[in-house]
Amino acid sequence: MKAVLYHGGPLALLYVISRLAPKEASDRKIERFVLIDGDNLLEEHIEEEQIYKREDGTIKVPSIDYRKCDACGLCIGVCPIDAIVGLPNAKPTILIDRCVLCNKCLRACSRKAIVLKEKKAYVVIHALIKEKEFIIIRPIHYDNDPIIKSTILRQAIERILERYEVDVLIIPIVEQSLIEYVKNLTKDVQYVVLSPLSSIIVENAIYVSKNITQYKEILKALSNVKELLKRLAL
């Protein structure tokens, strides 16, 4: 399995596909591409009749069983990002949109009042186009904290890899832990970055800046993408 991590939104995604196009064209078995946040490809190039399956993906999030909670406040104290709030001697509330799913509160609660519940977090869309299968993972909470989003994507990828043999995994660079996770999956990791990242150091990345010389390279790559999509009948 090959993995490509990209940064730069839809333009970066199309640039990645253009780089894979000449290498991935072959007569062997059906090739399976897994695209994370592949909305641009999905919405603009894949027709509804080419989609053969949709399924919801869930993650496990902490929830308070107020029948067992005694308002001790231990969970508030151990939460590393203040995602659990409450007044003194009052039962707390978990701000699930801030929760980074570390489960420290779960382990700290002596009364077992915090349990894990399933929550819909992403949608998986399958499309089959001329012997190439696209599995597109679309997170529902797109604007979540990068750590939360990285956790959701990691769980979604794990689920897909358990069920399918994947040829190419294409993932946006969201947070450092996601990069490390992908490195552990395969040694064949490539990077395409449309602009330098201030908070993430990426070695051996293909940096494409906005200067005119490399901008022409992007336009050429997008032209290749159009040819690829045309061959795939997208």
Q: What is the spatial distance between Cα 80 and Cα 135, in angstroms, rounded to a whole number?
A: 34
- The pLDDT assigned to 25 comes to 47
Comparing CA positions, the residue from 58, 17, 59, 20 lying closest to residue 38 is 17
* Cα 125 to Cα 144: distance, rounded to the nearest angstrom: 21
Instruction: Name the helix (H) or strand (E) containing 105.
Output: helix 104-108
Contacts of residue 135, defined as CB under 8 A and 6 or more positions apart, other chains included, come to 32, 33, 34, 35, 124, 125, 126, 160, 164, 166
Q: pTM of the prediction?
A: 0.73
Give the HSE-up count for residue 40: Cα atoms under 13 Å, Cβ half-sphere. 14
List per-residue pLDDT tens for the chain, 234 residues long. Answer: 999 988 877 777 777 777 665 444 455 566 788 888 766 666 666 777 788 889 999 988 999 999 999 999 999 999 998 999 999 889 999 998 788 888 999 999 999 999 999 988 889 989 887 677 888 888 886 556 777 888 888 889 999 999 999 989 998 888 888 888 998 999 898 888 776 665 566 666 666 655 555 556 666 666 666 666 666 555
pLDDT of residue 202: 66
pLDDT of 103 reads 92
pLDDT computed for residue 184 by the predictor? 92
177's enclosing H/E stretch is: helix 176-185
| Sequence-separated (6 or more) residues with CB below 8 Å from residue 22 | none
Question: From CA 174, how far away is CA 37, in angstroms rounded?
Answer: 11
Can you tell me the distance from the alpha carbon of 162 to that of 33, in angstroms, rounded to the nearest whole number?
15
